[in-house]
Chains A and B, each alone.
Chain A
Amino acid sequence: MKTSRTSLILVNGTVILLAAIWTIPTLGLFITSFRTKAAISDSGWWTVFTHPGGFSLDNYNNVIFGGDGLGTAFLNTLAVTIPAVVIPILIAAFAAYGFAWMSFPGKKILFITVVALLVVPLQISLIPILKAYLAVSLNGTFLAIWLAHAGFGLALATYLLYNYISQLPKDILESAYIDGASHFQTFTRLILPLSTPALASFAIFQFLWVWNDLLVAQTFLGTNKDVAVMTSRLLNIVGSRGQDWQLLTAGAFVSMLVPVAVFLALQRFFVRGMMAGSVKG
C-alpha cells in the first residue's frame, strides 16, 4: 500500500490528538486527587507542570477513612458485586443446559419468553419489586440487591450461555451419558469447564454493570452508609458538597480502580464481554 509521508503524519497527528483529548479529563482528575484543598481552589491542575507543589495523600486518607466512609462503601460494593455476578451466571448456566440438552413440555415457549424478557427495561420493575421488598422488609439488604441484579441480568445471561452451550458437540455429551453420568454430573464436570470463555465474557460484562450501577443500588440498597455502594456515596457527595473537589476526585478514583485494573488485565475478555452485552435491555 502506497501512503505518502504527509498523510501518514496527518493520520498519526489526528489519532494522537484524539487520544490526548480522551485522556486529559481523567488525567486532570488524577492529578487533582493528589493536591491539597487550598492548591485545588487556587490554581488549575495544569499549573503543577510549571509550578509543582501542594501535593498530599490526605484526600485519599480522608475520603476512605473519614466521615464519607468510602472505604466501607468499597467493601459494600465488593459484597454486592461478587454474588451479583456469580449467582445469575450459575442460575443461567443451569437453565441454558436445561434448555439446550433436556426435553420437557413447554420448552420452546418458555425459552421464547426468556428471550422476549430481554427487551424489558429494568425501570419497569423498580416500583413493584420495591413494594414487594418493603412488604417483607428485605429492602436495604445485600440479598435484595443480589437477587435484583440476578433478575435483571438473567435473561441476557441465559440467552448468551444457551447460544454457547447448545453449540457444544453432541458426541461429548452422549459419551458422558453412556458412561452413566447424570445430567448434574455432566453439567458440573463437563459443561461448566467447557463453557469458560462464554462464562468469562458474561462475568466481565455483569461485573462492570453491577460495579458501576447507580439506579438499582439507589433503589434497593439505599443511601444508608452501612450498606451503600460507592456510586451512591459519590452521588451523595456531589449533591451535598459538589465543590469539595479534594473528596470527589479521590473518591472517583477509588471507585474506578478495580474496573480499570480488570480492563487492563483482561482486555480481550473485556472486549468480548462488551460485545456480548450489547443486547442488554
Chain B
Amino acid sequence: MVMINNKVKIKTTNLNVYYGDKQALNDVNLEIHSKEVTALIGPSGCGKSTYIRCINRMNDVIDICRVTGSIEIDGNEINKKEIDVVSLREKIGMVFQKPNPFPKSIYDNVSYGPNIHGLAENKVKMDEIVETSLKKAALWNEVKDRLNEPGTSLSGGQQQRLCIARAISVNPEVILMDEPCSALDPIATAKIEELMDELKKSYTIVIVTHSMSQAVRVSQRTGFFHLGKLIEVDTTEKIFKNPNNKMTQDYITGRFG
C-alpha cells in the first residue's frame, strides 16, 4: 500500500478560469496533499496546465485571463490582489516541459533565485546553496567541475535537473511540474522520476503528465480533468485499477472517442 498523507497543502474551491469568453476551468474543487506527488492527467486542452498555473499565479501575466474562486495554501488565500506574487513564487517553484535554463553559467542559473530574494549574505553561503540545490537535484556529481560552463551546454536531462535545482534553490514548499519529462529520453526520465521520489520527502509536488504509466509510477494521488472540469480525483492506485467514473476509465484505457 502507498503511504497517503492526509494533510492538505493546497485547497482549491470553486475555481473558474476564463480566457476572454472561453472558460478554461469550471468549478474545480481539489485538495493537494502535503509532501505527496499529485498527478494531473487528461487530454490536451482539458485545463490541467491552466490549473497548476493558478497555484503560482502565472495566469496573471495573461491579460485576458480572469480567475474566480479560492486557492488556499496552508489556509491562506492566494487568489487575491494584495498577494505579493514574487514571494508567492518563491514558495512555489515551477519546472516546464522544455528545459529552459537561463543563458548563464550552471552556477548562475542556481544562484539567480537566492540572489534576487537575498537568501545568501556572502559568497560562501551562496556556494553552499548552489551545492546543496545541485545535490538535491542529483546533478552535483556531473557538474561540480564545470560550474562556470553555460547551463545550455548540458544534455536535455541535465538541463531539466538544473531547472529543478534552480527551482529548489529558493527553498520552495511546492514544486509544480508541467510535463517535465516529455522532451527527455527514458534514462533522463528515470533520473527525474527517481528525483521526484526523493523530493517528495521535503516538497509537495504537482505534476501534469500525458504518460499514464508515469502518473502510476510517481504519484500517490491522481486527478483526471476533461473539458475544464475535474472529473475524478482519488488515490493513484484506485484511479488506475478501478476508477469510479466511466470517463476516467475510457481515457486511461485509451477508449476516449
State yes or no: do A and B come from one complex: no
A residues lining the B interface (CB < 8 Å): none
B residues lining the A interface (CB < 8 Å): none
